[in-house]
Amino acid sequence: MKLVKSLFVFSLLFFIIACSNDAGTVKKEEEEKKVTEQEQPAETETTTDKDTETEVKTDTETVAKEEDSKADEVKKPQSTEVKTMTAIYVGQVDPHTIEVVAEGETINLQTTEADINFDEFSDGDEVKIQYYKNEQDQYILKSMKFSVVEEKKEDSSSPVKESPKVISTEATYVGQVDTSTIEVTVDGEAINLQTTEIDVNLDEIEEGSQVMIAYYQNEDGQNILKSIE
């Protein structure tokens, strides 16, 4: 009987000890869980702070790049479009400005960038110009020359000089009128010929002899001897 009681007491003690251990384990796990929950917000907060710092840094870099881009645009000179057109030259306004009329509009052009002798041009000449508009809304002349139409017009209006017609005929030598003129007869008609363009010894030609002559008439109506044989 004592043995049974001893076993019962031992079993009861073992049960109590086991329950105590389980309760301690559960309490320990709950405490560890609380500590973990308290640490997690701190970590989350730290991560959030880092993300915020990263976003701020990214925004700052973006703003800086945009400002640099705008600064580059300001520094970059504007492209100038060079125009070419036909105009009528009016004349010089002052030593560095000329005036032209293009498409019915009067334009003043700055000549500081053009190396042109304007004395070669006359008022009313048709010219071809190249110019551009600068940032101060000034028209800057790049080049100016006579237009092709004007050149053709001048060529067509210029008289064409025809070569004089040379006449060859048989004549009778009469003799020298003076040191630069001789006289011949052709079909009974006396003709005076200028000898300035030939080199011939007239003393070798006898008066009254038949000769073959070649001559032409110049712009002044003078007969110019080319040859005599």
Sequence letter at residue 208: G
Gap between the Cα atoms of 156 and 136, Å rounded:
43
Gap between the Cα atoms of 218 and 193, Å rounded:
11
- In this prediction, residue 124 carries a pLDDT of 85
What is the pTM for the complete model shown? 0.34
pLDDT averaged over every residue in the chain: 75
Q: Dump pLDDT digits (tens) for 137-190.
A: 899 999 898 876 444 444 555 565 667 788 888 989 888 888 888 898 988 888
What are residue 200's phi and psi, to 5 degrees?
Answer: -140, 145
Pairing verdict, β 181-186 and 126-133 = unpaired
Opening angle at CA 101, ends 103 and 121, nearest 5: 135
Residues whose CB is less than 8 angstroms from the CB of residue 64 and which lie 6 or more positions away in sequence, other chains included: none
Q: Dump pLDDT digits (tens) for 116-138.
A: 888 888 888 899 999 999 998 89
Comparing 6-10, 110-114, 170-174, 213-217, which segment has the lowest mean pLDDT? Answer: 6-10
What are residue 80's phi and psi, to 5 degrees?
Answer: -110, 125
Gap between the Cα atoms of 229 and 99, Å rounded:
65
Residue 22's pLDDT band (cuts 50, 70, 90): low
The SS3 of residue 174 is strand
Residue 16 has pLDDT above 70, yes or no: no
Gap between the Cα atoms of 182 and 219, Å rounded:
20
Query: Which tokens is 215 given?
Result: 């001559």
